[in-house]
Chain A
Amino acid sequence: MGRCAFQDPISENMTEVAAHTDGHDHGHHDHPSWLAHHFDDAEQQFDSGKLGMWLFLVTEILFFSGMFCAYVLYRNRNPEVFEFCSAFLNEKLGAINTGVLLFSSLTMAWAVRASQLKQHKLLVGMLGATLGCAAIFLGVKSVEYTHKWSLGLLPGRMYVAQMENGYHSDVDYLTPLCIAPAVLTVLFALYYVYSLVIASKFHQRVAGPLLVAGLCFFGGIYLGQFIEGGEHHGDSHGAHADAGHGEHASHDEEHAKEAGSETPAPAEASAASSDTGVALVSTSSGPLHDVAVDPKEAAIPNAEVNNQGMAGLFFSIYYCMTGVHAVHIIGGMLVISWLIVKAAREEFHSKYYGPVDNVGLYWHLVDFIWIYLFPLLYLIT
């Protein structure tokens, strides 16, 4: 990890530097290790990096706007598809993920403050908290995705028309999705044990947050399963009833008619407990999915919308937007891990905190995108 560790490829300031370097010899005697030699001073280095980051964020916004454009056009033409499909999204999980991301933004902003004030331990802690929140977000998202996959709520031509009694795929999607995080968590745990054995403060400071983040992913999985199993049905019933799709509502439906009803019907309650009883490795088949397909009991198929061309297109847009967002989360986790290493080395101070600040900007942008995604996808009545 060298002295010019984080420079965005912005050349505007470099030309300025080049223009007047002939005035002095540009010696290295006054350049500390954290200041790249092509910068005059710390502030110029910081400003250049930050401008580069903002320009990158501009391209990110424009990049996401393409998908928002698809969203806007499709919703403009077929608002009924969005009403129909949004009922299959669990708004409680979406709201929790919003809160988790907002909290991670808070810890990231706090991390920037800590890096400016040379609070090295606090900085590692705040970066670790941000990483953990990102892992929780992905865990909840995994539950959301796999739940939809097993119900056939898939993009485009893979979409399975939702029937009165519901279909369920007998494929277990969640377990394969957990393999990579599980392997990583085990590796982090081994690394942490190793750092304890060699009694290295540096390695402990790196391994600790990584291990916590790995465990947070499974915490997110548990949280997602708990809520998806316990409250999803009531929610969807309410949403369907409100949306006017519930003409053929079954008798169960009457109990859960109120929007956001917290009290599931007796049949649902027993099933919900069996659902939450299922651990991380859920069974490949079983009675619990009689309940998992519950949302559609309320809605007799709406043939105009409930097909691959209409609802399938909604789910294409849904998976594309949230999936690309999730990829950004993963990318953010990688750079935050890199920051943790640098923070554990106590590299940052009031004149060199650009990497923390710039990663922070990126992380807040990811939050920014989700702030729009959440109401636009989940909160359609």
Chain B
Amino acid sequence: MADTHSHSHSDHGHADGEFSHPMPVWMLLAVFFALLGLTFLTVFQAQFDLGSLEIVFSLIIASIKAGLVIAFFMHLVWDKPLNAIAIFSSLIFVALFLGFTLMDAQQYNERLIMDPKNEILENSTPKARLIKASE
């Protein structure tokens, strides 16, 4: 932090205290159409049965989209590094959270009781509120 107002911005290299960075319109539109294209791609790939790879593909596409949104729409590319550290640390903590929770999931999965699982289908229908449309 500078001592006086007069040269408090000199270390940022902006003239006259300007710190705004308007994004060019072409860049905004390019990012938008890239996002739209990736959405079409993810809908398109969902039509094929890729088995266990499906989730991987859709997550990769979603992450590319999320990266575009964060980098350009949220302006992180030109932002202070501190903000980038904050957001990426949160993603790391999410990964830790999910990773540790999944780690022992296989151990207790067999013991989980899915409570009304064994109910007969007819019993699970509250007929008081419902009409059978076919009748």
A: residues with CB less than 8 A from B are 16, 20, 23-24, 30, 40-43, 46-47, 50-51, 54-55, 57-58, 61-62, 65, 68-69, 72-73, 76-77, 91, 95, 98-99, 102-103, 105-106, 108-110, 112-113, 116-117, 152, 157-161, 163, 165-171, 242, 259-260, 285, 289-290, 293, 301, 303-304, 306-310, 312-313, 350-351, 353, 357, 360-361, 364-365, 367-368, 371-372, 374-376, 379-381
| Contact between chains at B93 and A62 (CB < 8 Å) | yes
Tell me the nearest residue of chain B to A105, going by C-beta.
B73
The answer to whether A371 and B20 touch across the interface, beta carbons within 8 angstroms, is no
B121 and A40 within 8 A (CB)? no
Pair B20/A351 contact, Cβ less than 8 Å: yes
Which of chain B's residues have a CB closer than 8 A to the CB of A301? 121
Among the interface residues B5, B48, B93, B130, which one has the most CB atoms of the partner chain A within 10 A? Answer: B130
Interface of A (DSSP majority class): helix
Q: Are B47 and A260 in contact (CB under 8 A)?
A: yes
Please measure, in the bound complex, the distance between the C-alpha atom of A91 and the C-alpha atom of B42, giving whole angstroms.
11
User: Assuming A73-B102, A77-B109, A117-B22, is B116 touching A375 (CB within 8 A)?
Assistant: no
List 6 A-B pairs, minimum CB-CB distance, nearest first.
A165-B134, A379-B46, A375-B58, A58-B90, A106-B32, A116-B20
CA of A365 to CA of B112, assembled, Å: 34
Query: Chain B residue with minimal CB distance to A13?
Result: B1
Nearest A residue to B93 via CB reads A62
Contact size range, B: 35 or more
CA distance A197 to B121 in the complex (A): 61
A160 touches B12 (CB 8 A): no
Please give the distance in Å from B111's CB to the nearest CB on chain A: 11
Chain B contact residues: helix, strand, loop or mixed: helix
Chain B positions within 8 Å of A, measured between CB atoms, are 1, 3-5, 8-9, 12, 14, 17-23, 25, 28-29, 31-32, 35-36, 39, 42-43, 46-49, 54, 58-59, 61-62, 65-66, 69-70, 72-75, 79-80, 82-83, 86-87, 89-91, 93-94, 97-98, 101-102, 105, 109, 112, 114-117, 119, 121-122, 124-126, 129-134
Which A residues are in CB contact (< 8 Å) with B42? 374-375, 379
Complex CA gap A157/B114 in Å reads 12
Residue in chain B with minimal CB distance to A55: B86
Q: Which residues of A contact B3 (CB under 8 A)?
A: 20, 23
B34 to chain A, nearest CB (A): 10
Partner of B131 from A42, A285, A303 at Cβ < 8 Å: A285
Known: A69-B97, A99-B36, A372-B66. A41 touches B20 (CB 8 A): no
Given A113-B23, A368-B70, residue A259 in contact with residue B116 (CB < 8 A): no
Query: Is A171's CB under 8 angstroms from B129's CB?
Result: yes
Tell me the minimal C-beta distance from A135 to chain B in angstroms.
19
